[in-house]
Structure 1
C-alpha cells in the first residue's frame, strides 16, 4: 500500500524529497529570526503542517515549494516576534537567546524530538554569535525579518516585500536601518584564537578566585547578564563594572562541585558549567580590544536541552 506522497513503485516522491530537504534551511532561518531553537522548531513544524493540510492538487500548483515554505515560515516567525515582546515583558529576569553548541557537541537526541537529526542542527557562522543575536533583539520584527532574509539568506527585496507586507523600497530601508544597528554595536572582530585564550584565562582566574586577574581580563564597563527564567538561580538584573563582575564570579567559584569546561557557544569560545553529570550553565562572551565586554550566563534548563552531559 502506498501513501499519496509515494509513487506506485514505492520510491519516495521527488517532490516530497524536496520538501523534506528544506527543513535544514528553515530551521536555520527560524532560529536567527526568533533566537530560540524551541520556537524555531515549533515554527517549522507549523509550516509543514500547513503544507500537508493542502490537497495534492494545491501542492502541485505551487511552482516552487521551497520558496513557499520559506515565505510561510517567515510570516509565522514575524507573527511570533510581534507577540514575543509581550511574553518577554513577563519573563522572570533577563531574557537571553538560546545558546547553541558546536555541531560535534550536539546532543544525540532530545525528549520529544527526533534522534540525531542533522537537519535540526543550525549552521554556525557570524550571524548567530550571541552579541549578534542580542542586537537583533533590539530591532523591530519587520527590521529583523528584512535584514535576515536579505543580508544573511540573500533574498531579493521584492521577495522580502511579499513576506513583510511592505514595498521593496520600504524593505530596503528596514534592512539599512538594521545594518546600521549591527555596525554601530559590533566592534571589529577579535581573532578566534585570541578570544579562546582570553576565555581560557578567565576560566583559570575564576577557578582560582583571583579577583585581580579577573578584573584584568574584563573591560572596565563589563556587564554580566544571567538568564534563569525563574527556573534556576540567576541575577535578575545585569551586573555592571569590572570589579562587581569579578567579585560576583569569584564568590561563586567552586560552589557545589561544579566543573567548568571550555566549549564553543554559538560559534565562539565559551564555557559550560556541569554538575552531577548535567549542564547547569552556559557562558557566552563578547570580547573586544583584548578585554571581555559582556558575559551571558544561561541557566534556564529549557534553553540547555541541546547541550551534552559530562562524558557523552
Structure 2
C-alpha cells in the first residue's frame, strides 16, 4: 500500500489514525496555501481544520490523490471565506509573512515565490477578486493545473488562465513596503496634520493613488475617496496620537488611557498604500501598539 492508499476498514480507529497521519504530512503545505489565500494565520488555521473535518467525514476509498484532494478542499474553503468576507466588506488587519512552499525545480515558480515572501504579496492579493486570488495562488505558487482550478471555480480552464494572468500582472507590479520608520513618521505626521485641517490636497499628496482604507464597516478605494473620508473625521484626528502599530508608524485614539481606535498603515514609495482602521475592541486588543 502506498502513502495515499487507504485501508479498507471503513471509518474505524485504524482508518482514523491513518488519515490523521497522512493529513499531518500535508498540513504545512495546506497552511501555506490558505495563508496566501486569506492573508491571516488564524483564518488559515480555520481553513485547514475545516479540510480535516471534511476528510474525516468523507468516503476516502474514492480519493485517489490525497494531496490534490486536500488542496482542492482548502481552495474551496478559502474561496467561500473570501466571498463571505467581501460580502461583509471585511479584510484582516493581520499581514504576516508566510513560509516558503512551492513546487520544486521550477525556476519561474521560484522567482515568483521569492517575490511572494512578505507583506508585499499579501497587500496586493487583497486587491484581487476571490477568483483571481485563487487562480494565482494555486497555479503560480503551488503549480495546480488550470483544469483543477477550473473545477473549483466552475469556469473553463481558459477563463481561469485569464484570471491568473490578470492577477500575475498586478503582483509583478507590487513593490515592497517601505520599512524606514523615520520616513514613515514623516508621512503619518503629514497625514495627521492634513486630516486635522480637512486639507484634501494635503491628504491626497500622502496617499497612493490606489490606496485602500479598510474598516469593520467596509472598504474605500482611491486617494480622493479616502481623503474625503479622512477629512470628515477632523475631530478625531485632533485627538489622535502617533504610535507604532504592529511595528510600523500609525495612529491611535485613547480613551481613559486605553486604545479605542487604531490606524495601521502600509507604506509604498513613501505614500500610504493601505490604511487599516480598527475600532472593534477584540481587533484592537490583538494589535501590538506602542505610543511614541
TM-score (ref. length: structure 2): 0.63
Superposed CA offset, 1:63-98 (max 9, x none): 54333221111122334445555x33xxxxxx3520
Tell me the number of residue pairs that the alignment of Structure 1 and Structure 2 aligns: 256
8 Å CA contact retained: 1:274, 1:309? no
Structure 2: distance between partners of 1:215 and 1:77 = 35
Specify every segment of 5 or more residues in structure 2 that has no aligned partner in the other structure, as ranges: 1-11, 98-116
| Corresponding position: 1:252 with 2:236 | yes
Which piece of structure 1 moves more, 31-40 or 196-205?
Answer: 31-40
Structure 2: distance between partners of 1:190 and 1:206 = 21
Q: 1:280 to 1:241 in 2, by over 3 A?
A: closer
Superposed CA offset, 1:96-127 (max 9, x none): 52011657xxxxxxxxxxxxxxxxxxx74432
Specify every segment of 5 or more residues in structure 1 that has no aligned partner in the other structure, as ranges: 8-12, 89-94, 104-122
Structure 2: distance between partners of 1:135 and 1:236 = 11
| Corresponding position: 1:229 with 2:223 | no
Structure 1: distance between partners of 2:208 and 2:47 = 40
Higher helix share: 2
Q: 1:97 to 1:21 in 2, by over 3 A?
A: farther
Following TM superposition, by how much is the alpha carbon of 1:45 offset from its aligned partner in structure 2, in angstroms? 2.7
8 Å CA contact retained: 1:218, 1:242? no
Of structures 1 and 2, the one scoring higher in RCO (CA 8 A, sep 6+) is 1
Give matches, 1:109-124, under 5 Å: 124=118
8 Å CA contact retained: 1:200, 1:262? no
Q: 1:51 to 1:224 in 2, by over 3 A?
A: closer
Q: 1:302 to 1:102 in 2, by over 3 A?
A: same
8 Å CA contact retained: 2:213, 2:221? yes
TM-score (ref. length: structure 1): 0.59
Superposed CA offset, 1:266-287 (max 9, x none): xxx4536375455742412342
8 Å CA contact retained: 1:5, 1:16? no
